[in-house]
Structure formats: structure tokens, C-alpha cells
Chains A and B, each alone.
Chain A
Amino acid sequence: MILGRITGSVVSTIHHPIVDGRKLLVAERLDQRGRPGGGYLIAFDAIGAGQGETVLILDEGNGARQILDDASAPVRSIVVAIVDHVDLETN
């Protein structure tokens, strides 16, 4: 899983049926210290994450399909957790 921050959303009327009624979130990748710079991805939402929240994103197709309970969903990235805080050991 990767750490990300919700920086936007995508509005889409014409799409694959799996997108019906689901939110598409734009998430920027964060490193372990919460710094952006690793690009972005468009992810589905499994938990109601929103604007500016730091989240964990599952970026693996089979896991995403399990969460959506649809073995034929063309989905790889899905937001699975809202992060409260990250602890790192200091050197």
C-alpha cells in the first residue's frame, strides 16, 4: 500500500459500469514523511475519504477487486484507510 493525500476528484458521466455511483479521487503520492513528489493516481474510494485527507491506497488489482466484490472490475487503486498519523524512528 502507498501513502497519499486526496487533492481532487474526477467527474465522469460516461464510464465502465463499475464506476457507476462511485467516487473517483485524485491522490498525490506521499513519502513516509508526508512529502509529495512521486506523482499521482486516480483511485476508487472504499471508506469515504475526502478533501485533503492523508490516506492509504491499495495499488494492486486483485485486492481492489476483492474489496469491490467484483472479480471483473478493471480497478487497481482504491483508498482503504484514512491515516491519523505516521510514526517514524529518528536517527
Chain B
Amino acid sequence: MLLGRVIGTVVPAVLVDELSATPLLWVQPLSRDGKAEGEPLVCADGTRMAGPGQIIYWVASREAALALDPWFVPVDDAIVGLVDEVRLYAPEELA
């Protein structure tokens, strides 16, 4: 899993039935210290509670389908949870 920030929503006009109840969100992948890293992607929101500005963690490929309900669905990436806080140890704490 990787961190990401929700930067927008996608509103589909026509969608496969299995995804009809799942929000689709634009997510900017983040480095562990919160900097944008890589290209934004569209994630299905398994929590159904994320919105723009929210920091989340997401998975790709088969694990993404498993994160959703119903789970056997055609997605690449999905949000697994919302981040309250990322605690990073200081370099001296890692020594």
C-alpha cells in the first residue's frame, strides 16, 4: 500500500453495474513525507468516506478489487483506509 491525497472526483455517466455504488476519486500518490510522487490515478473508494483533501492509503491490481464490496469488480486501484496520522521516526530514533 502507498499513501495518497484525494484531489478530485470522477463522475461517470455510464458505468459497469458492479461499480455503480462505488465512488471514483482522483488520487495523487505521495511519498512517505507527504510530497506528490508520480502521476495522479483514479481510485475506487472502498471506504466510501474519502473526499478531496483527504490523505488515504491505496492498493493496486487484484488487491484493489478485494478492497471493494462487491469485490469481484474491474478496478486497478482502490482506497483501503483514511489516514489520521503518519508517524515517521526521526533519524536518531532509527539508529
- Give the interface of A toward B (CB within 8 A): 5-16, 19, 24, 26, 28, 39-43, 51-52, 61, 72-77
Contact B86 A8 (CB under 8 A): yes
Q: How far is the CB of A53 from chain B (nearest CB, A)?
A: 9
24 of the cross-chain contacts (CB-CB < 8 Å) are A7-B88, A8-B32, A8-B86, A8-B89, A10-B57, A10-B85, A11-B86, A11-B87, A12-B57, A12-B83, A13-B82, A14-B47, A15-B82, A16-B47, A24-B1, A43-B1, A51-B93, A52-B95, A61-B62, A72-B71, A74-B46, A74-B63, A74-B66, A76-B59
Instruction: State which of A13, A40, A75 has its C-beta within 8 Å of the C-beta of B31.
Output: A40
Please tell me if B80 contacts chain A, counting CB pairs below 8 Å.
yes
Query: B residues near A, CB below 8 A?
Result: 1-3, 31-32, 46-47, 49, 57, 59, 61-67, 71, 78, 80-89, 93-95
Query: Closest residue of chain A to B95, judged by CB?
Result: A52
Which of A10, A28, A52 sits near B83, CB closer than 8 Å?
A10
By secondary structure, the A interface counts as strand
Q: How far is the CB of B47 from chain A (nearest CB, A)?
A: 6
Q: Is the interface of B mostly helix, strand, loop or mixed?
A: mixed
Residue numbers in A under 8 Å from B1 (CB-CB): 24, 41-43, 75-77
Interface-centre pick from A9, A16, A19, A28 (highest chain B CB count, 10 A): A16
Q: Whole-angstrom distance from the CB of A63 to the nearest CB of chain B?
A: 12
Most chain-B Cβ atoms within 10 A of its Cβ — which of A8, A11, A43?
A8
List the A side residues contacting B31 at CB < 8 Å.
Answer: 39-40
Closest chain B CB from A1 CB (angstroms): 17
Chain B positions within 8 Å of A28 at CB level: 32
